[in-house]
Amino acid sequence: MAKIDNMMSILWMLSSDKKVTAKQIAEKLEINIRTVYRYIDVLSASGVPIISDTGHNGGYSLLNNFIKAPLFFDIEEQKALLHAAILAKENGYFLDEALEKATSKLKMYSNQKQEETLIKHLIAFEAIRPIGKISIESVLQKLENSIVNEQSVEINYRTGREEKSKLRIINPYGIVHWKNNWYIVAFCQMRNEIRSFRVDRISSVIETSNTFNRPKEFSASEFFIKGIITEIKDGNNLTSLVIEGSINALDSLCQHWFLAYYLKERTPNKVIFTLQEEVIFTYIPNILLPYAKSIQIIEPSNLKDKMVENLLELINHYQEK
pTM given for the model: 0.68
Closest CA to 12 of 79, 83, 100, 73: 73
- Spatial distance between the Cα atoms of 191 and 194, rounded to a whole number of angstroms: 8
Query: In the predicted model, what is the mean pLDDT of the chain?
Result: 87
**Residue 129 forms part of a structural domain:** no
Q: Could you tell me if residue 186 is inside a domain?
A: yes
> How much is the pLDDT for 102?
82
Judge whether 127 and 87 are in contact, CB under 8 Å: yes
Domain hosting residue 304, numbered range: 238-320
How many separate domains does the chain show?
4
Specify whether 38 is located in the same domain as 89: no
- Order across the sheet with 263-267: list the strands: 263-267, 270-276, 238-245, 295-299
Per-residue pLDDT for 37 more than 80?
yes
The answer on 224 and 145 residing in a single domain is: yes
Query: For residues 256 and 12, which has the higher predicted lDDT (pLDDT)?
Result: 256
Q: How confident is the model at residue 199 (pLDDT cuts 50, 70, 90)?
A: very high
Tell me what pLDDT residue 104 has.
81
- Cα distance between residue 216 and residue 150, in whole Å: 12
Confidence of residue 132 (pLDDT cuts 50, 70, 90): low
In a domain, 46, yes or no: yes
Q: How confident is the model at residue 177 (pLDDT cuts 50, 70, 90)?
A: very high
Percent of the chain with pLDDT over 90: 47
Please tell me which residue, 133 or 129, carries the higher pLDDT value: 129
Residues 89, 169 share a domain: no
- pLDDT at residue 298 in the model: 96
102 and 51 belong to one structural domain: no
pLDDT for res 110 = 67
In whole angstroms, give the CA distance from residue 70 to residue 124.
Answer: 27
Grade residue 11 by pLDDT with cuts at 50, 70 and 90: confident
* Range name among 133-142, 210-219, 276-285 with the lowest pLDDT average: 133-142
Mean pLDDT of 3-23: 82
State the average pLDDT over residues 4-20: 81
What pLDDT band is residue 232 in, cutting at 50, 70 and 90? low
CATH, residue 44: 1.10.10.10
Rounded Cα distance, 69 and 79, in Å: 18
The reported pLDDT for the residue numbered 72 is 61
Crossing angle for the helix pair 75-90 and 96-108, to the nearest 10 degrees: 160
Q: According to the model, what pLDDT value does residue 54 have?
A: 83
- H or E, element range at 316: helix 303-320
Higher pLDDT, 196 or 3: 196
The CATH number for 294's domain is: 3.30.70
Residues 313 and 278 in one domain: yes
pLDDT band at 187 (very low <50, low <70, confident <90, very high): very high
Between 88 and 91, name the one with better pLDDT.
88
Q: What is the mean pLDDT of residues 254-281?
A: 93
Q: What is the CATH number of the domain that holds 221?
A: 2.30.30
Indicate the residue among 37, 67, 97 that finishes a domain: 67
Range of 28-32, 119-123, 246-250 with top mean pLDDT: 246-250
Q: Rounded to 5 degrees, what are φ and ψ at 18?
A: -95, 155
| pLDDT tens figures, 292-308 | 999 999 999 999 999 99
Percentage of the chain with pLDDT > 70? 92
- Higher-confidence residue: 91 or 81? 81
What's the mean pLDDT in 108-117?
73
- End position of a domain, from candidates 166, 195, 228: 228
The residues that bridge with 260 in the sheet, in sequence order, are: none
52: pLDDT strictly greater than 60: yes
Q: What are phi and psi of 191, to 5 degrees?
A: -90, -15
From 209, 228, 247, the end of a domain falls on 228
Residue 282: pLDDT above 60?
yes
